[in-house]
Amino acid sequence: MQFRSTKSSGPLVSFKDAVLHCLPSDGGLYVPDQVIDIRQFFLHMDEKITYPELVATVAPTLLQGELNPFSASRVAESAFDFEPELIRLDDNLSILNLYKGPTGFFKDFGIAFLAAVMEELLKKSGQALILSAARGDTGVSMAHAFSKRKGICSVLVYPSGPIRGLDPATFVPNGGNIIPIQIKGTFDDCQRLIMETINDREFSGRYGVTCANAINPGRLLPQTFYYLYAFIKIKKYLSGDLVFSVPSGNFGNLIAGLYAWKFGMPVNGFIAAMNANNAFGDYIRGNPFVPRPLVNTNSPALDVSVPSNYERLASFYKEAPAVMRNMVYPASIGDDLTQWTIEHAWKKYKIHIDPHTAVALAAAEQVSAAHEWSGHVHTVVLATGHPAKEADLVRKATGQAIDIPESLQALQKKSDPIAVISPQLDAFEGAIASCF
């Protein structure tokens, strides 16, 4: 599979180049240039297939010429010691738990694959230094996935504020390969510094600098695998249509679902489940996208005013606007209904869900009622966050105290970065260089 920029029809780049350069120089985003039909590889898969087996089967077909079946199997085995979990709640509803990874959110799936595939792709050609701006638990997920990967150092760039969940034993000065650096500034300063470093050709050439933010195709592509996995597990129960409900902030997860559909997965629609930050719903309904000011909600990972994957989604709509209108259903859920839905899920199905998942479940019920789907559509709700990460809200909604697994408790432990610097390029490059 080759990739091109959303802003032009060429030049085409390989998966490896798209991963290692992450952003085309014209300001667009990388998208697959051609659609590969992989139907024959998963349609007949046994439902007992494990997640690494599925990844090892599908990835070499998608990445033909770049990842052979042996490499793919190594990547899948080393990335995934956790799996998605599909639970059928009733005839019309399932939940796909994507929070069983090391940091309790679905982003672990993309990050774990990225780290493993980079190690594999770099095997013959040396070194890479991966820069990522770290917010929330993304830094921990990165550190976990990249720790001990040969030939790769991972630089985590933090804005001002506490840094949590890292293990100092993995830091470069202690013999590891993780370099946490704190900027006296904001998250935007972190992202700007990363772009400046990449554009400093001399420095980035010397250290093999690349970036690994959420729009890297190496994180996006592997998110299609759990949609295929869900389909394989559910297909024998399907008699009518299949729809996925996806809690959407930057829309990476939803785009990955659309790729799975393009690759041949039989699916009839996706619900773009948003909270009060719902301006993107206008775009999905066919109106111009006019961003609105950010609103803080009780599902903070969805508090996004301009989705970073806007260009990618727009390229789907440009290609086939009428098809897309029937494929993606927008919905917007307020804080009260989110909290009520956490309670409702507990009472009706005896499951604990986090607020992001609650937005998707409430959206599924809303869209289903509006279109009178009951009885002939099966909806799979994507559970993107571990309920224990929002234990207070879940307790408030359900009256139930919930256990916080030890691995998630460790996310709360504070640690110090190896350097705290002003948000300037020379200070930043100096801090990195001092590690070598």
Per CB under 6 A, residues contacting ligand PLP are 105, 107, 247-253, 301-302, 356, 384-385
* Shortest CB 28 distance to ligand PLP, Å: 19
Nearest-angstrom CA–CA distance, 428 and 194: 9
* Shortest CB 389 distance to ligand PLP, Å: 8
Q: Which residue has the tokens 């650096």?
A: 181
Q: Is the CB of 196 or the CB of 303 nearer to ligand PLP?
A: 303
Q: Which residue has the tokens 């199905």?
A: 349
Q: Do 355 and 338 meet the contact criterion of CB atoms below 8 Å apart?
A: yes
Q: Is the CB of 61 or the CB of 278 nearer to ligand PLP?
A: 278
Nearest-angstrom CA–CA distance, 197 and 204: 7
* Shortest CB 250 distance to ligand PLP, Å: 3
Q: Is the CB of 45 or the CB of 342 nearer to ligand PLP?
A: 342
Neighbours of 154 (CB within 10 A): 27
* Shortest CB 394 distance to ligand PLP, Å: 13
Nearest-angstrom CA–CA distance, 278 and 307: 11
Taking alpha carbons only, the member of 248, 258, 243, 247 closest to residue 314 is 258
Nearest-angstrom CA–CA distance, 131 and 79: 20
Q: Which residues contact 326 (CB under 8 A, 6 or more apart)?
A: 269
Handedness of CA 52, 57, 58, 62 (dihedral sign): positive
Q: Is the CB of 73 or the CB of 278 nearer to ligand PLP?
A: 278
* Shortest CB 356 distance to ligand PLP, Å: 4
Taking alpha carbons only, the member of 423, 430, 429, 436 closest to residue 188 is 423
Q: Is the CB of 198 or the CB of 220 nearer to ligand PLP?
A: 220
Q: Is the CB of 182 or the CB of 223 nearer to ligand PLP?
A: 223
Nearest-angstrom CA–CA distance, 140 and 249: 20
* Shortest CB 70 distance to ligand PLP, Å: 31
